[in-house]
Amino acid sequence: MELQHSISLKPYNTLSLDVKAAYFVRVNCIADLRAARQFCQDKHCPWLLLGGGSNLVLTQDFDGLVMFMAMDQVFWPAEKSLDRISKNFIVSVQAGYEWDLLVEESIMRGASGLENLSLIPGQVGAAPIQNIGAYGVELKHCLGGVQVFDFDTGEEFELSSADCEFGYRDSVFKRHQCWIITQVRLLLSRDTEPKVSYGIIEDTITSQLGKPAISASPQQVRDAVIHIRRSKLPDPKKIPNVGSFFKNPMVSNGQKQALAQQWPGLVTYAVDPKKHKLAAGWLIDQLGWKGFRQGEVGVHEYQALVLVCSGSATGKEVLDLAKRIKADVAVKFGVTLEIEPRLFDNRGEFYL
């Protein structure tokens, strides 16, 4: 384990927040995790694991050890070992591999299942934590299991998909933050039947191909998803952001109907017979926040769900703006927005 001191984390988070880590190390193997664990025990200091840095807000210099996940091997099945009868196969991927690169490579190898999740930033190890999802597909639909290192006990174990307790942008890992995902096992398929029932996907593919979306290949679905995401979300390499800053809130049928009477254009998605998801971006947009700017932070001009900042913004400025938006939505709609990225101060994660 090669330990570094007083390292800026600006290159390691997509908001480009310039906070420092008292100690920093790259994790290349399980042995590095064990050495880091021993270091934290000896120093009695907190720790933080970073991957792509696309789902967190760093509000202060971190007083402990920051670990960057650099385990990035992929274990594709050998072509000769594939069962020609079965349409399914398994790929194992270490946590530090780039998610979108995995999606791209899976399609090149003739596999489907991940294409709707194209262009989601971050590393593979972060995907189960959030149960990443987009355009009608969630990670839980193709996850076989994960390998975990418990930073508190030093134990290694495996969890099945059911063990992960997946929900909407939720998993068991949010309740066991000492569990570090080291490898993910995915169940992919050679069956190319596309998942295109999500409205904007179907419309985009039909427009691009000039034929029914159901006939699209995985690559064509990926192309459509990339087109949609690039038209809606800014590239964090050009404009610092963490993607959607707020989750879509859940409401009862009664709440949805009452809001729809007051706001006729209300955008909702049915979750089950009793619940609906409200489009958080639509709520924020109705209150005039889109394009708002305050100092070094603001709301993206084309997507009200995305908070953006300059390279000199602070995490506190980002959170102050988020609090103002939350308060406005609560007053006008009676709905509480939940912040999607994880929040960290000098000692660890905190919640609003």
Are residue 8 and residue 38 in the same domain, yes or no? Answer: yes
Q: Specify the number of domains making up the chain.
A: 3
DSSP secondary structure of 247-285:
PPPEEEHHHHHHHHHHSTT--EEEEETTEEEE-HHHHHH
Are residue 289 and residue 151 in the same domain, yes or no? Answer: no
The residue-averaged pLDDT of 79-90 equals: 62
The residue-averaged pLDDT of 288-312 equals: 93
Are residue 299 and residue 223 in the same domain, yes or no? Answer: no
Residue 79: predicted pLDDT: 63
Backbone angles phi, psi at 165, to 5 degrees: 50, 55
Domain-ending residue, one of 69, 100, 123 = 69
DSSP secondary structure of 333-344:
HS----B-SEEE
**Is 155 labeled as catalytic in the residue annotation?**
no
Are residue 138 and residue 204 in the same domain, yes or no? Answer: yes
Q: Above 60 in pLDDT, residue 83?
A: no
Domain-ending residue, one of 232, 267, 289 = 232
**Is 26 labeled as catalytic in the residue annotation?**
no
For residue 142, give the CATH number of its domain: 3.30.465.10
Q: Which of 98, 156, 165, 340 is catalytic?
A: 340
Are residue 50 and residue 78 in the same domain, yes or no? Answer: no
For residue 298, give the CATH number of its domain: 3.90.78.10
Are residue 325 and residue 277 in the same domain, yes or no? Answer: yes
Q: Which domain holds residue 136?
A: 74-232
Are residue 205 and residue 262 in the same domain, yes or no? Answer: no
Q: Which of 37, 104, 112, 169 is catalytic?
A: 169
CB count in 10 Å sphere of residue 106: 24
Are residue 187 and residue 277 in the same domain, yes or no? Answer: no
Residue 271: predicted pLDDT: 84
For residue 50, give the CATH number of its domain: 3.30.43.10
Residue 330: predicted pLDDT: 97
* CA pair distance 49, 85, nearest whole angstrom: 41
Are residue 88 and residue 47 in the same domain, yes or no? Answer: no
Are residue 197 and residue 105 in the same domain, yes or no? Answer: yes
Percent of the chain at pLDDT > 90 equals 78
Neighbouring C-alpha atoms within 13 Å toward the C-beta of 117: 29
Q: Which of 16, 54, 244, 317 is catalytic?
A: 244
Q: Are strands 56-58 and 342-344 parallel, antiparallel or unpaired?
A: parallel
Within 8 A by CB and 6+ apart from 288, the residues are none
**Is 252 labeled as catalytic in the residue annotation?**
no
pLDDT digits (tens, 9 = 90+) for 93-106: 999 999 999 999 99
Percent of the chain at pLDDT > 70 equals 98
Mean pLDDT of the chain: 92
**Whether the Cβ atoms of residue 213 and residue 205 lie closer than 8 Å to each other:** yes
pTM given for the model:
0.89
pLDDT digits (tens, 9 = 90+) for 155-189: 999 999 999 999 988 999 999 999 999 999 999 98
Residue 85: predicted pLDDT: 46
The residue-averaged pLDDT of 265-282 equals: 91
Coil, helix or strand for 308? Answer: strand
Are residue 60 and residue 203 in the same domain, yes or no? Answer: no
Are residue 83 and residue 45 in the same domain, yes or no? Answer: no
Domain-ending residue, one of 31, 54, 69 = 69
